[in-house]
Chains A and B, each alone.
Chain A
């Protein structure tokens, strides 16, 4: 089971809880696709047209930063916490 932690404002925008649990996903790509099925519009908010993460977002699998790692083709274990966070930017 994957536990996905979302920023409050993003969760509110797309109509999800800020902590979601998703089963049967083996990579970040599959995780994001599963979230998109539940909440259409999620993907365009968090990814660039080419597929990478938007520049002012951060992504962690557990404590490991993966925002700039091989796009979203990052494998996930059976039980992971994935954190999508707003980067430290903005005024």
Chain B
């Protein structure tokens, strides 16, 4: 019988949870106590777990575990900019396993915004320099969370997407040899009128590429929910009917390209759900309409959900999971219809990732 595992990255370590029925959960950890863990992922190609471990004392690293998190290595070498570089790598925000036919390739998005790649499964890292060499790099500035490259996604044989805050979303069609910003049509509401559609300098909070339709991208902006059907060349705003179109995470359904999930928050000062009604909102018609899914969630809630803290397990029915800044992890074994709390009173949650493990 398959087990469902959750990796929950928090401000003070990585927590793990296991369930055989997606209703009852066993807790493990924490690993890396007192150390911020911004992201953790399952590499379904190999069964290796990767975690972005960001020690304020000893620096940032990408750790690996080959036994579902029981033991972890010390991280590979090279995850740093050149000594002469004005910028330094201070945190790992994103980890993305490479394509199926590149079993040893792994990507890492870091703060200060930049992209690294390992070709040996995380033993050694080197910067994908073309991204920071793009002329618009000088327009990148820190968002509230830092100047971070927080999302990396692969599509097709050689397409690579990244997003940073505040900088925007970029696309490479040649596996990282060159990049171009694909922010045309995204509105930066935090800029003065007349200059709200810049080529770069956007504050993209998260994007997700539809696995079943690779030219479709869902994007949660710093204000605005968007969909692209042409790999980011153009964007359609699809969030106007929501109670608020500010938020952090956005998640594409693994099989249905018209289904996606978001967690709307009130912008810009509150950053909690409208009226304290925390919920995951789902569209099944490519963003034309959205439905709230709140059954079993606490109300009122004044928690927020950060950009990496919403995930699914790929199951059928789909298991959905999210974690809050107030330290609760919620699970739904039926695609969001019913929720229960997996754990509470954890440290501030940065990331939640799920996988079904044979």
Contact = CB atoms under 8 A, between A and B. Distances in A.
Interface stretch (A24-32, A44-52, A62-70, A72-80): A44-52
Interface in B36-86: 55-59, 74-75, 77, 80-85
Contacts of A13: 58, 74
A14 B75 CA distance: 11
Counting chain A residues whose Cβ lies within 8 A of the other chain, the interface size class is 20 to 34
Nearest to B347: A91
Contacts of B80: 44, 49
Interface in B1-58: 11, 34, 55-58
Contacts of B81: 49
A41 B74 contact: yes
Contact of B59 (A14, A45, A89): A45
Contacts of B84: 50
B196 interface: no
A55 B328 CA distance: 32
Given A41-B74, A90-B34, A49 B56 contact: no
A10 B55 CA distance: 11
Interface residues of B, number: 17
B57 A57 contact: yes
Contacts of A44: 59, 77, 80
Interface string B77-97: 100111111001000000000
B83 A10 contact: no
A50 B59 contact: no
A86 B74 contact: no
Given A48-B88, A49-B85, A90 B74 contact: no
Contacts of A57: 57
A90 B57 CA distance: 9
A5 interface: no
B58 A10 contact: yes
A78 B57 CA distance: 29
B74 A56 contact: no
Given A13-B74, A41-B74, A90-B34, A46 B56 contact: no
A9 B166 CA distance: 34
Given A14-B74, A44-B77, A48-B88, A90 B83 contact: no
A49 B88 contact: yes
20 contacts: A10-B57, A41-B77, A44-B59, A45-B55, A45-B58, A48-B88, A49-B81, A49-B82, A49-B83, A49-B88, A50-B83, A51-B83, A54-B57, A56-B56, A56-B57, A57-B57, A86-B57, A89-B56, A90-B56, A91-B11
Closest 3 CB pairs of A and B: A45-B58, A49-B83, A50-B83
